[in-house]
Amino acid sequence: MIIAFANQKGGVAKTTTCLNLGAGLALRGYSTLLIDSDPQASLSCYLGADAGKPGLGDWLMDRAPFDQVVRATPHANLSYISTSERLIADEALMEQDKFKALHYLKRKTETLRDRYNFILIDTMPSFSVLLANNLVAADQVVIPVKLEWLSIQGLAPLLAKLRDIQDNVKDLQILGILGTFNRKGVTECHKCLSELEAQLPGRVFASTIQLNSKLAEAAGAGKPIQHYDRLCQGFDDYEKLTEEVLKKCPAKKKTHAEAR
Ligand SMILES: Nc1ncnc2c1ncn2[C@@H]1O[C@H](COP(=O)(O)OP(=O)(O)OP(=O)(O)O)[C@@H](O)[C@H]1O
Ligand SMILES: [Mg+2]
């Protein structure tokens, strides 16, 4: 199962969700690969990647094989592919090739389906050839939405983009809309959730992620929340999300030895 985390709006918890859902799946024994496809490289930074080593762009442009770009984490069943700002230059190269511009990542990830239960792609906060590559490679998309009015307004262009891909390229499902930065008891958050459910009935995750500073702290410490603080709200929320995702996407576990 290949899942992209997408929203062209910045700071809605795409990276945080990719990391912590990935860690939740890995903890349960599912072989999981995270791909950092944002030239800002937040995920790579959190995971401590060395920017000098080959990364996503090198793999996509055939400068390095998969074995040279995949990196281990200290956590069982969890690997990742890092990125760097150089990906922007690679994106420009991709754009020049009209025939396969949107298919660079898919061409690569298809070869990994036997190795991993889950491949999670962290995407950049703007419409671009890279984001299109991420969506074309994915089977499902998770859309994190910050529970405030402006974020809901910003959803329409993304949904239009997804429809465009569904109509012209491939069958891409919305796995779920995820309410993030939720504040229990705050009317605006509650209304936003109801509005999302009204716009996309049955597509909004029952789980939401509450505002919790421990999530930012954990990222700053380079750790998924599961390996930083298991007594906080952020841990509970990502545990619930992991269970919900597994219910929607049942998978037979592969061992990580098989995976690497
Ligand atoms: N539930 C939360 N509570 C508090 N802080 C959070 C929460 N989720 C994420 N954060 C923090 O908010 C900031 C933005 O989160 P994140 O980087 O995951 O968003 P993003 O959508 O990936 O952003 P970008 O569009 O820039 O890639 C980060 O500092 C992160 O640690
Ligand atoms: Mg991000």
For residue 213 and ligand 1, the question of a CB distance below 6 A is answered with yes
Interval between CA 100 and ligand 2 midpoint (Å) = 26
What pLDDT, on a 0 to 100 scale, did the predictor assign at position 129?
95
What pLDDT, on a 0 to 100 scale, did the predictor assign at position 258?
56
Provide the 8-state DSSP code for 204: B
**Structural domains of the chain, ranges and CATH numbers in brackets:** 2-259 (3.40.50.300)
Tell me the pLDDT of the chain (260 aa) as tens digits.
999 999 999 999 999 999 999 999 999 999 999 999 999 999 999 999 887 899 999 999 999 999 999 999 999 999 999 998 889 999 999 999 888 999 999 999 999 999 999 999 999 999 999 999 999 999 999 999 999 988 898 899 999 999 999 998 888 999 999 999 999 999 999 999 999 999 999 999 999 999 999 999 999 999 999 999 999 999 999 999 999 999 999 888 876 655 55
> What ranges make up the beta strands (E) of the chain?
2-5, 32-36, 70-72, 78-81, 118-122, 140-146, 173-180
Report the C-alpha gap between 238 and 221 in whole angstroms: 17
Interval between CA 119 and ligand 1 midpoint (Å) = 20
Query: Any idea which ligand is nearest the CA of 11?
Result: 1
- Return the ligand 1 atom nearest residue 10 CA: 25
Closest residue CA from atom 29 of ligand 1 = 216
Tokens 């954990």 found at: 218
Interval between CA 11 and ligand 2 midpoint (Å) = 7
